[in-house]
Structure 1
C-alpha cells in the first residue's frame, strides 16, 4: 500500500511539472500581431478657419435728451418697432437757476435797448419828415430799431427754452425725445421719474433709448494673424449661432481691419460680414456666433486619414496590403488636407487596403 502511494505521488509530481513547463512555454510565446486595415474613400476636403464674434445691427443709435430734467412720460417700450421722428419720451424741465437768471436778464436788457431805439427812431422820423436829415441817416436808426427788435425776439425764445424747453418762434420742443432712426427699440435704460442730463460739448448726456435697424445685421468678429492673409473681401461665411442650432446663416465678408490688436499676446484682426437674413428666423442683437471661412476645398476626391501616412526623407508613403497581413510600402502624391483627412492624388487605387499603425 505504501509502495502504491509513493508511486501515485511520484506520477502526480511529474505530471504537475510537465503541465507547468507547457503552460510557461505557451505564455512565453508572443501572439502574432494582427494589423487593422482601411480603404481610401471619396469625400469633400474643406480647409477653413474659424472666427469668433457676435451678431449686431449695422445701424444702432443711442437717443439722448437735449435738456436736463426728470423723465415725465415714456411712450414706448423695448421690442417695439418705431418710425423716425416718433415720440419716445417727454422730459419735465427743471430750469438751471443760473441760466434762468441770465436768460431773464438778457430779455430785460434787450427790451430796454428796443425802447431806446424806438424812441430815437420816432425822433429821427420827425426830423426826416421835415427834411432836416437825409434818408441814409434815417435808415441807420431804422436798422438799429429792427436789430434791437430781433435781439428781443431771440432773448425771449432763449428764455422760453430754458423755462419750458420750447422755442416760441421755431415751434420746436426740445424736451420731447424723438427717434432719430427707423427700427426697433432695443432698450430703454431709464424709467419715469429718472433724472437725466442734457447732451452738450462736455457731457454725452443720458441715454433715453437705444434704437437699431434690425433688417440690416452684420457679423463682427476677429481672426488670428496666421489666417488673415488667407482671406479676402467677398468670401462667403457660414455663421453658427449658439442660440440657434439649426441651419447656419450665410454672410459675405466685406471688411478686414488693416491693423491688428493684441489679445492676450495674440494679434487679432477685426472682420465684418453682411448677414443674409431669413424670414423664418429672427436674429437678436448680441447673439454670439462663430464663422466658418472656407479657404480652399476639393469636392469628391479620393482621400485617407492622415494617420495612415509615413513621411521619410521628404517623401510620403503608405503601407498597402498585398496578402493577408503582408504589406509593402508605396509612395503617394497628396493634395489638400483639412487636418484629419488628406487628398490622394496618385499612388494607390480606391480598393487598396492600407495598414493602420
Structure 2
C-alpha cells in the first residue's frame, strides 16, 4: 500500500510538471502585445456648434403697382441688374364701368358747382364795385364797404376751390379710364412700373396678361418683381435650445455652402430670437448672421438666394497650442485626474498627469505635463496576443 501511494504521488508530480511545461510552451508561442506611440501636435483648436439654414438677401423689395389692371409688357427677367427708376413693367388699365359712371357724375357735379360759384362771384363783384364807387364819393360808410369787400373775397375763394374740385374730378376720371393723368397726381398714378432700388431681380412672379391689384389698406397688392442687393446677404438658421445658452451676438460664423464645393464664407452672428418655436418635439431658436462683403471673403463666387447652408458658430478658440488626440487621455479611477503614458523605452511607458484645456471632441489642448518631444502610448495595441494555431483575421 505504501508503495502504491508513492507511485501515485510521483505520477501527479510528473503530470503537473508536464502541464506546466506545456503552458509555458504555449505562452512562448503567443505574439507579444505591441503598442504604438504618438507625439503631440501644434494645432488650432476650435470649439463650435452647427446650425442649419439658408442664405437669403438682407433686404428684399417687392415692387407693387399703385393701380389695378392687366400686365401689358414686362421689361426685365430674373437675374438682371436694375437701378432705381428703371422700367420694370407696363400696366394696361381695364376701366370699371360703374366707377367710370360715378367719376363722370362727379365731374358734372363739380362743373355745376363751378358755374354756381361763378355766378355768385359775378354778383358779389358787381356789388363790390358799386360800393367802392359810393365809398370813394363818401356816400357809404367804411363799415358797409368792408362788408361788401369781404363778401367778394369769399365768393372769389369759393370759385377757386370749386375749380380745384373740378380738376380733381377730371384727374380721377382719367386715372380710372387710362391709369394716368396730367398735373400733380401724374407722378402717383402711372401705368409704368419702375424699380425703387438698385439691385438684382430675384423673381418676376407675374406674366404678361396677368391681372394685378394695387396695394391699399385692405390688400397688400400683387408683387410684380422682387429686387435685392446680392452683396448684402445673411444666413438664416435655427439652433437647439441646448446650444442657445452658449452663443451670443457678435460671435464669428463660418458659413458652408454645399453647392459650391463646401466653400466657406465669414459672417457675424447679429440676431438670436428671444422666443423659441417647437419643431418635432424640440425647441428651436432662429438666428441670423450677416455675411461679410465678397472682397472681405476673398471670393468671386455668386451666392444665390435660397441656397441651403450650415453655420459653424465659433464658441471658443485656441491658436497654435500643444494638443493630443482625446482618445490618448486616461482618467484615474480614484482621483479622476487625467493622465497619459509616456514612452521611456521599447514598449516601456511611464504614467504622467496632464492639465487639459479646450477640446473640440477630437483633439484636446495640453496646458502642462508633457512636452512636444514626448511619445504617448496609444491604448489600442498594434498586435493582440493569440495562439499560434488560432484564427488571425
Structure 1 and Structure 2 fold alike (TM over 0.5)? yes
CA contact (8 A) 2:328 2:377 kept: yes
Give the alignment of 1:1-357 within 5 angstroms: 26=26, 31-131=31-131, 134-170=148-184, 171-172=186-187, 173-245=189-261, 247-264=263-280, 265-278=282-295, 280-311=300-331, 312=333, 313-349=335-371, 350-357=373-380
Measured after TM superposition, the shift of residue 315 of structure 1 is 1.1
What corresponds to 2:3 in structure 1? none
Summarize the Cα distance change of 1:243–1:337 in structure 2 as closer, same or farther, 3 Å threshold: same
Q: Unmatched 5+ residue regions in structure 1?
A: 1-21
2:5 aligns with none
Offset of 1:212 from its aligned partner? 0.9
**Structure with the larger helix share:** 2
Please give the alpha-carbon distance, in whole angstroms, between the structure 2 residues aligned to 1:236 and 1:101: 63
**Paired positions, count:** 335
**Deviation, structure 1 residue 281:** 1.9
Cα deviation for residue 67 of structure 1 reads 1.6
CA distance in 2, matches of 1:323, 1:139: 117
* Coordinate RMSD, CA, aligned: 2.5
Which blocks of at least 5 consecutive residues in structure 2 are unaligned?
1-21, 132-144, 381-393
Cα distance per residue 1:105-139 (max 9 Å; x no partner): 21111111111111122122222222186111222
CA distance in 2, matches of 1:291, 1:52: 6
Q: Is the 8 A contact 1:256 1:272 kept in 2?
A: no
Q: Which moved more, 1:151-160 or 1:173-182?
A: 173-182
Q: Provide the rounded CA distance (Å) in 2 between the counterparts of 1:114 and 1:319.
A: 106
Structure-1 separation of matches of 2:28 and 2:368:
44
Aligned partners of 1:260 and 1:270 also within 8 Å: no
Cα shift at 1:253 = 2.9
Change (3 A) 1:102 1:68: same
Distance 2:361 2:293 in 1: 29
**Residue aligned with 2:261, SS:** strand
Tell whether the 8 Å contact from 1:38 to 1:356 is kept in structure 2 after alignment. Answer: no
Could you tell me whether the CA contact under 8 Å between 1:239 and 1:249 is conserved in 2?
yes
Calculate the TM-score normalised by the size of structure 1. Answer: 0.85
Give TM-score scaled by structure 2 length: 0.78
Cα distance in 2, alignment partners of residues 96 and 50 from structure 1: 56
- Measure, in 2, the Cα distance between the counterparts of 1:64 and 1:296: 46
- What is the CA distance between 1:29 and its match in structure 2? 7.5
Structure 1, 230-239 or 330-339: larger mean CA deviation: 230-239
